[in-house]
Amino acid sequence: MFLDPYHTRTGARVRISAQQASNFAKRVAGDFNPIHDEGARRFCVPGDLLFALVLSRFGLSRHMEFRFRNMVGDDTPLCLEEPEVGQVQVCDDEGKQYLDVCREGETSRNATAIEAFTRCYVAFSGKNFPHVLKPLFEAQGVMFNPRRPLVIYDSMGFSLDRLDLTEPSLELIDSRLDVLGKRGDVRLEFRINDRGKPVGSGSKKLVVSGLCAYDAAAMEEIVTEFYRLRSAYEVTG
């Protein structure tokens, strides 16, 4: 299983160490968000890793909605359960919920198709910054706090016409940033293709905290550092 290096199963519980989470973010998603770095003060497990674990455990359904409730910390024991048909929850032993999933329709447990879809979605998701966010920030004249950049995964959902995917890919078709004071809601709409033909669609919502006035020089430094970290990781990772 391609997710084995990125979590540890102990009985009915799943644990994700900071190192496993950071490796997943960088190796699979190409995501260098500092909150996924091992040792980060505000560390959290990538939402895309929780998404991947849910698909691996419960299968890929025609219609799925994911809502992220709380951030998962280092080595938190997690329970992935299906309390009722059409619902999946990720919570800890105290009942704190981290992810709620609603699903409908046919479900596939084909491991090859699930891995292919997971990889293409996670790779697409990992391109949020700077590819998508930077142009939105520029257009609105705002950006996250360069000293404490915080972009949080809020929710995502998709619908598929069929599940026998062989070469899936995602294509961004629309994006927007709604500024609400110091907070920004980013909404992304995407098309799901398989072998170049449309087979579904989806959307994703991110929340950006601590918005401030856009600073081109500060943003350039952040983007330069992003590419420096990616290049360094590709050499050593």
- Residues 7-47: tens digit of each pLDDT: 999 888 999 999 999 999 999 998 888 889 888 888 999 99
Range of the domain at 226: 4-236
Q: How many angstroms separate the CA atoms of 101 and 64, rounded?
A: 7
| Whether the predicted pLDDT of 235 surpasses 60 | no
Q: What's this model's pTM, rounded to 2 decimal places?
A: 0.93
Local structure of 128: helix, strand or coil: helix
Lowest model confidence (mean pLDDT) among 55-59, 71-75, 233-237: 233-237
Taking only the tens place, the pLDDT of each residue in 62-111 is 999 999 999 999 999 999 999 999 999 999 999 999 999 999 999 999 99
| Whether the predicted pLDDT of 237 surpasses 60 | no
Q: What is the pLDDT of residue 19?
A: 96
Local structure of 47: helix, strand or coil: helix
- Asked if 48 and 125 touch (Cβ cutoff 8 Å), the reply is yes
Q: Which helix (H) or strand (E) holds 54?
A: helix 47-58
Crossing angle of helices 133-140 and 216-236, rounded to 10° = 170
| Whether the predicted pLDDT of 236 surpasses 80 | no
Q: What is the pLDDT of residue 22?
A: 94
Q: What is the pLDDT of residue 8?
A: 97
Taking only the tens place, the pLDDT of each residue in 178-196 is 999 999 999 999 999 999 9
Taking only the tens place, the pLDDT of each residue in 117-157 is 999 999 999 888 889 999 999 999 999 998 887 888 999 99
Q: What is the pLDDT of residue 58?
A: 97
Q: How many domains does the chain have?
A: 1
* DSSP β-bridge partners for residue 168: 194
Percent of the chain whose predicted confidence (pLDDT) is above 70: 98
Mean per-residue pLDDT over the chain, rounded: 94
CATH number at 157 reads 2.40.160
Would you call the peptide bond into 34 cis, given omega within 30 degrees of 0 as the criterion?
A: no
* DSSP β-bridge partners for residue 158: 64, 202
